[in-house]
Amino acid sequence: MKLTALETLGFRTVNLVAHLGRMAAFIGAIAMQTVRPPWRVRRFVGEVFDVGVLSLAIVCLSGATVGAVLGLQGYTTLARFGAENSLGAVVGLSLVRELGPVLTALLVTGRAGSAMAAEIASMVTTEQLDGLRMMSIDPVDFVVKPKALAMLVSMPMLNALFICFALFGGYLVGVELLGVDGGTYVTSMENAITWEDDVAGTLLKSVIFGGLVGFIATYRGYTATPTSAGVSAATTGTVVVGSVTVLLFDYIITALWGV
Amino acid sequence: MQPSATRDLIVGLFVAIGLAAIAYLSIQVGGLSYKGPGGLRLYAVFDEIGGLKTRAPVAIAGVTVGQVIAIDLDDALRARVTLDIDPRLHLPSDTSAGIRTSGLLGDQFIALEPGAEETTLAGGEEIAMTESALSIERLIGKFVQNSGVK
């Protein structure tokens, strides 16, 4: 049967609304299982290990590198205006307000989000989730909830570690290599960064990003087509959609709350 | 997956380090720039504060002894700056306060210059002699007027 243009539009709209509804229902299910026992503490701890501890190396290394590059670039630019003494403020502010939460979220999406989606998707493919349902265990409670919550909890901590390592990297390059005075660097950084405007903002951003990436990864895995192509599509989809969503929400949060 | 006890220990360690990093950012980096003892509240009224901000340091002879904790307008529409200063200092009551800039492009801070009186300033008192922020535009304006350039 050939649909008219108007019918196609209606069909698409209904599909979109249904899709949004499924997403909301999924979030609702996770939230419901979160406030209801069993708490699944052991599985949660295991997931924090997978998301947080195993991402530590890449997050800390990237942090130090990004900080060092910022110190180098910032110095070159500031030196043109004879304002090298503001290097600490430039490095600190750009890291805390913007680069820390965004880069951490992108790294964790690639490192842990993809693995999370692939794991759930292959459980769908091999009918393990159906097996859980057979034993009247809700897969959202047993599999999805610990993973999504682990992402939510780990992200702010990884973000803070990223920023600390980056500040250290920037200090090494700016002070030890380029000869900016150490006290000036630290003082200009501490003067520029405030708790209310900057540090609270970075924590807010990383919590929101953690929730988003956790949701996207588990949702893509949970709704994967049960084939091997479906597993790879869920993994790719998580990285692509997760990264774009993080960048988009970064703009929205900055525009709304100015952090 | 690792044996459970080892894994729990590592996760606990990770959480501890993560929380320590958050605390470091909040308290050390995001916290106040002056970490010495405070408690002595003094007020200073200026005609012009320029770009002075809260958290700006208060210094005597270049040594930071406190910070600006609030800036607001008083009834006469002048800027009233609240200073939080190390209470161990015995500032003479004719101490004067001026707004200075560190370097050409640096941030502004308040410089206190102790006077010679025997009596000392107590908490809540106002510094009588103040020197407003130097406005380069105003300075150039004055210079142009005086030199008679048309």
**Residues from chain B contacting residue A48 (CB–CB below 8 Å):** 11, 14-15
**Per-residue pLDDT at A60:** 96
Read off the pLDDT of residues B7-51 as tens digits, 9 standing for 90 and up: 899 999 999 999 999 999 888 887 665 666 777 888 999 888 888
SS3 content of chain A, % helix, strand, coil (to 5): 85, 0, 15
d(CA B82, CA A1): 78
Please choose, from the candidates A214, A31, A27, A199, the residue with its C-alpha nearest in 3D space to the C-alpha of residue A105: A214
Residue B150, pLDDT > 60, answer no
Query: Pairing relation of β-strands B57-60 and B63-73?
Result: antiparallel
DSSP state of A98: I
**Per-residue pLDDT at A68:** 96
**CA-based end-to-end distance of chain A:** 52
**Per-residue pLDDT at B139:** 79
**Per-residue pLDDT at A86:** 87
Residue B107 contacts residue B54 (beta carbons within 8 Å): no
Please choose, from the candidates B47, B58, B45, B43, the residue with its C-alpha nearest in 3D space to the C-alpha of residue B132: B47
**Per-residue pLDDT at B117:** 85
Asked if B18 and A156 come within 8 Å (Cβ–Cβ), the reply is yes
Q: From start to end of chain A, where are the E strands? A: none
Read off the pLDDT of residues B74-133 as tens digits, 9 standing for 90 and up: 888 889 999 988 888 888 888 889 988 876 666 788 899 888 888 888 888 888 888 887
Residue B2, pLDDT > 60, answer no
**Per-residue pLDDT at B56:** 83
**Residues from chain B contacting residue A86 (CB–CB below 8 Å):** 105
d(CA B112, CA B128): 12
Q: Residue A141: CB partners within 8 Å, gap ≥ 6?
A: A33, A38, A40
Q: Which residue from B minimizes the CA distance to A41?
A: B8
Asked if A45 and B11 come within 8 Å (Cβ–Cβ), the reply is yes
Sheet containing strand B96-101, strands side by side:
B126-127, B40-46, B79-85, B63-73, B57-60, B108-113, B96-101, B129-131
Residues of A contacting chain B (CB within 8 angstroms): 42, 45-46, 48-49, 52-53, 56, 81-83, 85-86, 92, 96, 154, 156-158, 160-161, 163-164, 167, 187-191, 193-195, 198-200, 202-203
Asked if B17 and A157 come within 8 Å (Cβ–Cβ), the reply is yes
Residue B49 contacts residue B109 (beta carbons within 8 Å): no
Query: ∠ CA A224-A227-A231 to the nearest 5 degrees?
Result: 50
Buried b (16+ CB within 10 A) or exposed e, A180-192: beeebbbbbbbbb
**Per-residue pLDDT at B101:** 81
d(CA A254, CA A257): 6
d(CA A58, CA A76): 27
Other C-beta atoms closer than 10 Å to the C-beta of A166 total 30
In three-state secondary structure terms, A137 is coil
- pLDDT < 50 stretches in chain A: none
Q: Which residue's structure tokens are 């990436």? A: A213
Q: From start to end of chain B, where are the E strands? A: 40-46, 57-60, 63-73, 79-85, 96-101, 108-113, 126-127, 129-131
Please choose, from the candidates A113, A110, A105, the residue with its C-alpha nearest in 3D space to the C-alpha of residue A221: A113
**Per-residue pLDDT at B33:** 56
Which ipTM score applies to this complex?
A: 0.86
Residue A149 contacts residue A31 (beta carbons within 8 Å): no
**Per-residue pLDDT at A39:** 87
Residue B61, pLDDT > 60, answer yes
**Per-residue pLDDT at A132:** 95
Asked if A49 and B15 come within 8 Å (Cβ–Cβ), the reply is no
pTM score, whole prediction: 0.82
Buried b (16+ CB within 10 A) or exposed e, A209-218: bbbbbbbbbb
d(CA B32, CA B123): 21
Asked if A157 and B10 come within 8 Å (Cβ–Cβ), the reply is no
Q: Which residue's structure tokens are 């106002």? A: B126
